[in-house]
Amino acid sequence: MGHTKAAVLVVVLAVAVLGLATDGQAQLQNGYYTGKCRGNDVEAVVRGIVKARFSQDSAIVAHLLRLLFHECAVNGCDGGLLIDGPGTEKTASPNLSVKGYDLITTIKTELEKRCPGVVSCSDIEILATRDAVNASTGQGYAVRTGRRDRRRSIASDVKLPGPDFTVPQAAAFFRTLGLSSDDMVVLLGAHTVGVAHCSMIKKSRLYNYGGKAGATDPSMDPELASTYKTYVCPNTASSDNNIVFLDDRSSASKLDNSFYKMLQRRRGALMVDQNLYGDGSTRWMVDRLANTDHFLWLFPQALAKLGEVNVLTGTQGEVRRVCTKFN
C-alpha cells in the first residue's frame, strides 16, 4: 500500500510540475473565440478596425509594435500596461512615450457591445499588432488566443533594455523572456519603423562617447554623425526632443529589412542596434536578415513567440470590461 501511495504521489507531482511549465501556453489556441461572441467573428472585428486606422495613419504599426514589446517584456502579455492611474506601468519613464492605447480602447468598446466580458485586453493587443503588421507587409500570420488580464500594474516592475545596452546585456534580458539572441536580433528589427529622440544618442554617441567630452562614437558612420551634429541633434538642450529615424528615412514607414542594411553601413542610430553588427555573436544574423528576405517571415514568428511570454489562461486573472481599469 505504501508503495502504491508513493507512486501516485510521484505521478501527481510530475503532472503538477508539467502543468506549471506549460499551463499558460498550452491553453492558448488558434481560433479561441470562435463561437464565443454571439455569432461575431472576433478576429474579423479587430482586423476591420485596425485596417481602417492604418489607412489613415500608417504610424500605428510602429506604435503597436512598441506597445506590445513594452507590454510583454514586463510580467508577460497581461494587459498591465493598459491600466490608468498613479504608480501603474503606464507611468514608468520608458512608457511615457508609448502610443496606440486609443486604438485598443476603440476595439474593446466595439467587442463589449457585441459580447460583453468575453475578449481580454491582452488578446486585443496581440491581435491588433498582428493585423497592423499584416496591413503594412501583406504578410498574415496565426496567433493563438485565450489570454486573460492580470490584476497587477506597478511602475517599479518596468525594467526594459536601455538604448546603450551591449549585446550580452540585451541578450541576457531577452533570455529572461525565454527568447534567444536570434529572436532578439529579429525583434529589434521593429526599429525599421521606429523613431527615437536626440536625447537618446547625444551623450552616449555624439558628444560624450565613453564619458570623454566632445568624443563621438567611432562605430557610427562619420557622415551620419556629422549630419546629426549639424542639423538634427546640435549640442544644445533645445534639440533633445528632435526626432531621429531608426531606419533610412525613405523606408521609415515600411516593415522591411532595410534597418539591417543600415547597420551594415554603420548607420544605426541607437547604440543597442549598432552593437548587433559590432558583436561577432550577432553580426552573422544581421547579415542574413540584410541580405535575404528572411525578415518577412522570421519577424512574425518572433512576434508570435513574444506574444506567448508568461500569459494567464483558464481561470487565472480576469477578462476586463474596460482595458484601463481592473474589474
> What is the Cα–Cα distance from 318 to 5, expressed in whole angstroms?
37
What count of Cα atoms within 13 Å lies in the side-chain half-sphere of residue 96?
A: 7
Compute φ and ψ for 67, nearest 5 degrees. Answer: -60, -45
Q: Is 192 annotated as a binding residue?
A: yes
Q: Is 256 annotated as a binding residue?
A: yes
Catalytically annotated residues = 70
Q: Is 272 annotated as a binding residue?
A: no
Q: Is 3 annotated as a binding residue?
A: no
Q: Is 74 annotated as a binding residue?
A: yes
What residue has cell string 486573472? 317
> What is the Cα–Cα distance from 300 to 298, expressed in whole angstroms?
6
Q: Is 168 annotated as a binding residue?
A: no
Nearest partner of 74 among 253, 235, 306, 324, judged by Cα: 306
Q: Is 43 annotated as a binding residue?
A: no
Other residues' Cβ atoms within 10 Å of the Cβ of residue 214: 9
Q: Which helix (H) or strand (E) holds 210?
A: none
Q: Is 78 annotated as a binding residue?
A: yes
> What is the Cα–Cα distance from 82 to 64, expressed in whole angstroms?
12
> What is the Cα–Cα distance from 206 to 214, expressed in whole angstroms?
8
Which residues are annotated as part of the binding site?
74, 76, 78, 89, 161, 191-192, 247, 256
Which residues are annotated as part of the binding site for substrate?
161
Which residues are annotated as part of the binding site for heme b?
191
Which residues are annotated as part of the binding site for Ca(2+)?
74, 76, 78, 89, 192, 247, 256
